[in-house]
A and B are shown apart, each in its own frame.
Chain A
């Protein structure tokens, strides 16, 4: 073994050093600050509160799905079906709310619609979990099944048609504000904190990292590997469901063809930029939120400065490669 132990301590400027240290060790955070600095310099009206709102509104769904994706990646897997599950949840809720029962009892309809939609998405996640843990199917293939047919189910349910609605209570999910902050941003922060805390403090969190780090060893040490994977994929499905509801609420309409389209890519990108190891064993949930913020902010920067919107895709590709490359370098120097 050749361990490099980095020595600190002899720095004459401890505070500066500490800040620098945090930034060099945390590339994601420094990239985020750099992006903000660049925006301050070049983007017109960047400091306006409206800019913040726009970005917060748009980043929430990516961030929520990215949290779930981070958990799945930490378990050593991947979930390609999150976009399809978003579409499923986003379709199911309006179906219930717009049904005869839902229209005649709006409040009960809402109370039923949201749990059932989330249940549907969680069931999708559970289904992925069963394929992965019980049948030992590689996650990319197991979740490919719902990637292909999950959206199809949503499309079949609505016959591919747009369902628009006017239910303020539901739209609050996407357009409401809590203490002046977009409601979905609040949801995102709460979810991120809950997940981060659970990972750090709970036995489930430790088990998740153990399973992702070395599944065989975890099993031998008595970790209920299958159960851990089931829970992880289910949670990922649930989070995708929440994101699907928010998207539907923002649009005041559900579109099975479009909701969550390509979301799996954004979520994987956010998780990876946030520092998740694709080999598993590491679950930087807050990093994933930050990764989502970086991706969102970069898209915004290009858009606000009049760059062709497709260039943002190329830039995103570039960021992903740089992030993983840097991760690789740091891992390689150990």
Chain B
């Protein structure tokens, strides 16, 4: 390990002496002793990254470990405070993503970062359009875009606006763009987060092809399992430092988790990697019943029941309509026409979220930033937002009572904030999610709908939230949980309903509730049509 008490300069010198070994001479990329701080707080301390040509190199670490910062230093979005970057043997430092891109470092970000209104051709060629007399040569541009996409087995109308295609296609177009730039290193930040299993396998095929042509890939993912399938080398980061670098064959999943958390393997084994506690409470009476729900595309025919004290999982591929089911129940997307929804045995039809809230439902949507937090408001104001109508008297908010409630929930959920007046945008993802959970818990709901409750949250907070969900269910709450992580469903849900192309096709519970069974069920259309 590196002695962290050394001054940065000394650390770099020591590092250089230590690592200037022969094996790294051929590296396409070598970042050493990278320091970066924001407003006095260090985001990267002595980080290191060495990538060989034709290698798929993964960076793993909890949120805040410095992965994104390191990537942004590499692609020129941030300027590092100290350290050196060697790219293809030359010392470099990029002032903007544009410079890095020209040099051969392309980045594909977590959310698809293309321009929806513009055509596929434009999205692929933007910034380096083929030109004739200074004007765009559209003919060449289109054929270039088409031929690039064919490499991935995609045959699309490249003149159409990108937003007419689904997310997975858009993601592949983003990758095609990177490839079209003749990149030497392609950085992929969580490329599979919006892809289903099939699309993921297409992506992996593309990655293998890139690899074979000598392109190095820097891969960042929360999904540790997929790393074994695709990666060669792993760099583990924690608290802005590089703590480990190994070939994948020398690592187990347990090693990774231990490295990320900075704990010993024994600790992790004792807690399990994601495991919830055992399901002990007997399942109560029916709280929510959905019968033949349909209408809002792509939902066609979905039926299921959620009991008191039960966590019901909803599984399905992306686009199967999982989130849409949740939204329809909660009174969003009002063109919902077919089917019936019963709460506590009474048929209901919510026109607005307010109606659903009045019927004691709660809904944490999948997109915390877009649909969840109100960034300018404090933790307190965010936490009580759904409770206000009940809290307020004659339109006024009783301040003391509000504070007391907020303090109670912050304590109970272990929300880490400097005070309840801190703007929620300054909290970590996990703590933001806890505030949103508290927002609904405070309304004392009968049914809580959680859409991807642990997406993009670091391992520690993820586990806390999973345990909290279990605890809520054990105390009698009915929970409808949507997750694209099948492991989470298997370990956290009592039963799982599988949705396929907008229809509920399967129910898994007890012995049958296994990851393999879910994968089989969500992806085999023939099986469902019998």
Which residues of A approach B to under 8 Å, CB–CB?
1-5, 201-204, 206-207, 209-210, 212-214, 216-224, 277, 280-282, 333-334
- CB B274 to nearest CB in A, in angstroms, measures 24
Q: Contacts A202-B395, A218-B385; is A213 near B375 (CB within 8 Å)?
A: yes
Q: Contacts A2-B39, A201-B396, A333-B39; is A207 near B388 (CB within 8 Å)?
A: yes
- B292 touches A (CB below 8 Å): no
Q: How far is the CA of A214 from the CA of B374 in the complex (A)?
A: 5
- A221 and B395 contacting across the interface, CB-CB below 8 Å: no
- A210 and B426 contacting across the interface, CB-CB below 8 Å: no
Q: How far is the CA of A334 from the CA of B439 in the complex (A)?
A: 25
Q: Contacts A201-B396, A216-B371; is A222 near B377 (CB within 8 Å)?
A: no
- A281 and B41 contacting across the interface, CB-CB below 8 Å: no
Chain A residues whose CB sits within 8 angstroms of the CB of B426 once the complex forms: 1, 3, 334
- B374 and A281 contacting across the interface, CB-CB below 8 Å: yes
- A214 and B357 contacting across the interface, CB-CB below 8 Å: no
- B376 and A277 contacting across the interface, CB-CB below 8 Å: yes
Known A219-B353, A221-B357; 17 more pairs at CB < 8 Å? A4-B39, A4-B41, A202-B392, A203-B396, A206-B385, A209-B374, A209-B377, A210-B377, A210-B381, A210-B385, A214-B373, A217-B371, A217-B374, A218-B385, A222-B385, A223-B385, A277-B376
Chain B residues whose CB sits within 8 angstroms of the CB of A217 once the complex forms: 370-374
- A218 and B374 contacting across the interface, CB-CB below 8 Å: yes
- B102 touches A (CB below 8 Å): no
- B219 touches A (CB below 8 Å): no
- B428 touches A (CB below 8 Å): yes
- CB B364 to nearest CB in A, in angstroms, measures 9
Chain A residues whose CB sits within 8 angstroms of the CB of B399 once the complex forms: 201
A224 (CB) vs chain B CBs: closest residue: B354
Chain B residues whose CB sits within 8 angstroms of the CB of A221 once the complex forms: 353, 357, 385-386, 439
- CB A330 to nearest CB in B, in angstroms, measures 12
- A2 and B41 contacting across the interface, CB-CB below 8 Å: yes
- CB B386 to nearest CB in A, in angstroms, measures 4
B424 (CB) vs chain A CBs: closest residue: A213
- B38 touches A (CB below 8 Å): yes
- B134 touches A (CB below 8 Å): no
- Chain B, range 300-334, C-beta contacts under 8 Å to A: 330, 332
Complex interface bits, B38-61 against A, C-beta within 8 A gives 1, otherwise 0: 111101000000000000000000
- A222 and B353 contacting across the interface, CB-CB below 8 Å: yes
Chain A residues whose CB sits within 8 angstroms of the CB of B372 once the complex forms: 217, 220
- B166 touches A (CB below 8 Å): no
- B353 and A214 contacting across the interface, CB-CB below 8 Å: no
- A202 and B353 contacting across the interface, CB-CB below 8 Å: no
- B414 touches A (CB below 8 Å): no
Complex interface bits, B419-435 against A, C-beta within 8 A gives 1, otherwise 0: 00000011110000000
A279 (CB) vs chain B CBs: closest residue: B376
- A202 and B374 contacting across the interface, CB-CB below 8 Å: no
Chain A residues whose CB sits within 8 angstroms of the CB of B373 once the complex forms: 214, 217
Chain B residues whose CB sits within 8 angstroms of the CB of A201 once the complex forms: 396-397, 399
Identify 28 residue pairs between A and B in the complex whose beta-carbon atoms are under 8 Å apart, listed by A's number: A2-B39, A2-B41, A2-B43, A3-B41, A3-B426, A4-B38, A4-B41, A201-B397, A201-B399, A202-B395, A202-B396, A202-B397, A203-B396, A203-B397, A206-B381, A209-B374, A209-B376, A209-B377, A214-B375, A217-B371, A219-B353, A221-B385, A222-B386, A222-B389, A223-B385, A277-B376, A280-B376, A281-B377
- Chain B, range 350-372, C-beta contacts under 8 Å to A: 352-354, 356-357, 363, 365, 370-372
A219 (CB) vs chain B CBs: closest residue: B353
- B397 and A5 contacting across the interface, CB-CB below 8 Å: no
A280 (CB) vs chain B CBs: closest residue: B376
- B64 touches A (CB below 8 Å): yes
Q: How far is the CA of A220 from the CA of B353 in the complex (A)?
A: 6
- B280 touches A (CB below 8 Å): no
Complex interface bits, B391-412 against A, C-beta within 8 A gives 1, otherwise 0: 0100111010000000000000
Chain A residues whose CB sits within 8 angstroms of the CB of B7 once the complex forms: none
Q: How far is the CA of A266 from the CA of B371 in the complex (A)?
A: 34
- B389 and A203 contacting across the interface, CB-CB below 8 Å: yes
- B64 and A1 contacting across the interface, CB-CB below 8 Å: yes
- A4 and B40 contacting across the interface, CB-CB below 8 Å: yes
Chain B residues whose CB sits within 8 angstroms of the CB of A218 once the complex forms: 374, 385
Tell me which of B43, B332, B352, B353 has the highest count of chain A C-beta atoms within 10 A of its own C-beta: B353
B370 (CB) vs chain A CBs: closest residue: A216
- CB A234 to nearest CB in B, in angstroms, measures 16
- B19 touches A (CB below 8 Å): no
Chain A residues whose CB sits within 8 angstroms of the CB of B396 once the complex forms: 201-203
Q: How far is the CA of A224 from the CA of B376 in the complex (A)?
A: 19
- B418 touches A (CB below 8 Å): yes
Q: How far is the CA of A149 from the CA of B171 in the complex (A)?
A: 47
Chain B residues whose CB sits within 8 angstroms of the CB of A281 once the complex forms: 374-377
Q: How far is the CA of A206 from the CA of B377 in the complex (A)?
A: 9
Q: Contacts A203-B388, A221-B439; is A213 near B64 (CB within 8 Å)?
A: no
Chain A residues whose CB sits within 8 angstroms of the CB of B371 once the complex forms: 216-217, 220
Q: Contacts A203-B397, A220-B371, A222-B354; is A213 near B377 (CB within 8 Å)?
A: yes
- CB A34 to nearest CB in B, in angstroms, measures 27
Chain B residues whose CB sits within 8 angstroms of the CB of A5 once the complex forms: 418
B365 (CB) vs chain A CBs: closest residue: A220
A220's partner among B363, B375, B392 (CB-CB below 8 A) is B363
Chain A residues whose CB sits within 8 angstroms of the CB of B38 once the complex forms: 2, 4
- B376 and A282 contacting across the interface, CB-CB below 8 Å: yes
Chain B residues whose CB sits within 8 angstroms of the CB of A219 once the complex forms: 353
- CB A271 to nearest CB in B, in angstroms, measures 16
- B395 and A204 contacting across the interface, CB-CB below 8 Å: yes
A212 (CB) vs chain B CBs: closest residue: B376
- CB A273 to nearest CB in B, in angstroms, measures 19
- A203 and B385 contacting across the interface, CB-CB below 8 Å: no
Q: How far is the CA of A170 from the CA of B170 in the complex (A)?
A: 65
- CB B444 to nearest CB in A, in angstroms, measures 14
- CB A226 to nearest CB in B, in angstroms, measures 9
- B39 and A213 contacting across the interface, CB-CB below 8 Å: no
Q: How far is the CA of A216 from the CA of B353 in the complex (A)?
A: 11
Q: How far is the CA of A247 from the CA of B217 in the complex (A)?
A: 68
- CB A278 to nearest CB in B, in angstroms, measures 12
Chain B residues whose CB sits within 8 angstroms of the CB of A4 once the complex forms: 38-41
Q: How far is the CA of A221 from the CA of B332 in the complex (A)?
A: 12
- A209 and B395 contacting across the interface, CB-CB below 8 Å: no
- CB B41 to nearest CB in A, in angstroms, measures 5
- CB A183 to nearest CB in B, in angstroms, measures 29
Chain B residues whose CB sits within 8 angstroms of the CB of A220 once the complex forms: 330, 332, 353, 363, 365, 371-372
A197 (CB) vs chain B CBs: closest residue: B396
Q: How far is the CA of A206 from the CA of B354 in the complex (A)?
A: 16
Q: How far is the CA of A14 from the CA of B396 in the complex (A)?
A: 35
Q: How far is the CA of A218 from the CA of B373 in the complex (A)?
A: 8
